[in-house]
Structure 1
Amino acid sequence: MSTSIAILVVLTGLGLVFGFILAFANKKFAIEVNPLIHIVEDVLPKGQCGACGYAGCQAYAEAVVLNPDVPPNLCIPGKELVAKVVSELTGKVAEAVEPRIAQVRCAGSDGKAVKTYEYTGVDDCVAANLLFGGPKACKYGCLGLGTCVRSCPFDAMTMSPEGLPVIDPDKCTGCGTCESVCPKQVIAMMPLGAHVRVNCNSKDKGQAARKACSSACIGCSLCMRECPHGAIKMENNLAVVDAHICVEQCSDAKCLAKCPTKAIRPAILGIMPGTEDQTSVAANCPTYVKQNISAS
């Protein structure tokens, strides 16, 4: 019994000694943290998306407070409101932040895209891409396994029954996380005010692209020739729209009526690519509506 008491006393004494040592070390070597860092961090949206270029919101808060060269407008999800608050807290000047949103550059749903084999592996786009580029005949299209959806820190994406992701415009912050995880680079950011978007990512030539997917851009350049503002260019057999020129100069998207596969469509948010409702763009695209709705 006495041995047990002695052991207990010794252990208690050692605990007290080490406790005093740790307390002394903590006080002696403590690093003072600028309280402004925590204030700035509380302002940030806490998505930990890394769109600012730093490893999370705390890392960016430390950088923007302590480094005079780090601008206050790097938080993409926070947009202009957060940039303004951070600039006021840090005494820095914030440049304007352009609102942006994710877009899915593929309308190759299960009913439109041809498959070369049935994939039964890991339910992940990156894993599927390792196996001959995935099951779709188009090696540039969405694989539809939802890696982007699961990676979104703001729950702004869902998978449609047709196998394509859908962006929720009320939740999407434009952080770019989904863009970075997509092995096919199907997802890209576009300005919120964009009039049109190209629902295709294929670099294949016309016949091959159309054979793999009925909604593919075939590189015919009809949309480019129809645009009077030079907002559309052909790059690697694919139409690419300069959204800024389109927004600033175009009030009647005539290019929409000329696309034979309807790969270029109105930039309607919150729906699956390829299902854009023609009637909802009557006010902004009268030429498109006149030639497509009235003729039907």
Structure 2
Amino acid sequence: MEHGVVQHSLVILAIMTSLGIIFGLVLAYANKKMAIEVNPLIHLVEDVLPKGQCGACGYAGCMNYAEAVVTNPDVPPNLCTPGKEPVAKLVAELTGKAAAAIEPRIAQVRCAGSHARAVKASEYHGVQDCVAANLLFGGPKSCKYGCLGLGTCVKACPFGAMTMTEDGLPLINPEKCTGCGKCETVCPKKVINMMPLGAHVRVNCNSHDKGAVAKKACSAACIGCTLCLKECPHGAITMDNSLAIVDAKVCKEKCDNPTCLVKCPTKAIKKAVLGVIPGNEDPVA
């Protein structure tokens, strides 16, 4: 009886092994017949990309962009923002395409609403994530346009260019920031945007509240007084629903004496100094 069981088990094992070998051979043959030959140029292009997988190019990752720029004549070689001009030139040379010049840019945090300046409307003890906090009545700050300070942008940065400070605001390292825009896409308040390098001034506010309401919520808020707009002789400043907006390109090209800084009563407009916490650009911040 026992001998029969052993013999039966051996037969089953032999059958299973045979089936495994057969299926393995079939899969190997199918893989060989159905394999798609990859253009080696795609791998060459991918090798010169920074591998941040940030998606700034509009594609899911570096490999996807490499494939697109090699196989599609309409895809330009300068879409890799983190790689800047050197990478664009290399991709252009490899693909035989012309690369337009890339304007260097860097992330800026349009909020100076630190713990000391911004008023809290409530206490938040939930998941330490800006998206989660924003779902709960827009977050704990009185200003519903300001930085929530929970570091979602910091976690999303593929280049380690951002850190959270004790002031409750992100600090951007200009040496590491590539301007990929990943932080910009994850911020639920749209506080972060990309600023061209060399810009003279920036508005450290994102609030569209009326003056008295904005000032009550944050001492560093833009109150929409329009004094900066009237002071600028180059038309670089416009108002968007009570918020001053600076055209960095016009400001950079035409202005060498930003007098708007002096006129701003709340100092919401500051010099575009890199590597400092928003609002701390000068000693009188």
- TM (norm. structure 2) is 0.95
For structure 1, the 5+ residue unaligned runs are: 279-291
Q: Which deviations, in whole Å up to 9, do the C-alpha atoms of 1:202-234 show, x marking residues without a partner?
A: 111111110110000111111111112111111
Which residue of structure 2 lines up, in the alignment, with residue 29 of structure 1? 34
- Mapped partners of 1:124, 1:193: distance in 2: 32
Query: In terms of mean alpha carbon deviation, does 213-222 or 225-234 score higher?
Result: 225-234
**2:156 counterpart letter in structure 1:** S
Provide, for residues 208-263 of structure 1, a one-character-per-residue CA deviation record: whole Å limited to 9, x for no partner.
Answer: 11011000011111111111211111111111111111111111111111111110
Identity of aligned residues (%): 73
What pairs with 1:242-261 in structure 2 (closer than 5 Å)?
Answer: 242-261=247-266
User: Which residue number in structure 2 is paired with residue 230 of structure 1?
Assistant: 235
CA deviation profile, 1:87-108 (whole Å, cap 9, x unmatched): 1000111111111000000000
Aligned residue in 2 for 1:123: 128
For the pair 1:90 / 2:91, whether they are aligned, the reply is no
Structure 2 distance, partners of 1:11, 1:207, is: 79
Amino acid in structure 2 at the alignment position of 1:235: D
Residue 156 of structure 1 pairs with residue 161 of structure 2: yes
Look up the equivalent residue of 1:271 and give its one-letter code.
V
For 1:110 and 1:33, locate their aligned partners in 2 and report how far apart those are by CA, in whole Å: 53
Verify: 1:206 aligned to 2:211, yes or no: yes
The partner residue of 1:71 within 57, 70, 76 is: 76
Cα distance in 2 for partners of 1:134, 1:8 equals: 62
* Residue pairs, 1:51-200, within 5 angstroms: 51-200=56-205
Which amino acid is the alignment partner of residue 21 of structure 1?
A: V
Deviation at residue 277 of structure 1 after TM alignment: 2.2
Instruction: State the 1:15 CA deviation.
Output: 2.0
Residues 222-231 or 94-103, more deviating: 222-231
Q: Secondary structure of the residue that 1:188 maps to in structure 2?
A: strand
For 2:33 and 2:143, locate their aligned partners in 1 and report how far apart those are by CA, in whole Å: 63
The AA in structure 1 aligned to 2:162 is: M
Unmatched tracts of structure 2, length 5 or more: 1-5
| 1:59-111 per-position Cα deviation (integer Å, ceiling 9, x unaligned) | 11111111111111111111111111001000111111111000000000011
Residue in 1 that maps onto 2:246: 241
CA distance, structure 2, for counterparts of residue 162 and residue 252 of structure 1 = 30
- For the residue of structure 1 that corresponds to 2:166, the secondary structure is coil
User: Residue type matched to 1:86 in 2?
Assistant: V
Partners of 1:219 and 1:198 in 2: CA distance: 12
- Structure-1 separation of matches of 2:53 and 2:194: 18
Q: In the aligned structure 1, how far is the partner of 2:277 from the partner of 2:193?
A: 15
The one-letter code of the counterpart of 2:93 is E
- Alignment length (residue pairs): 280
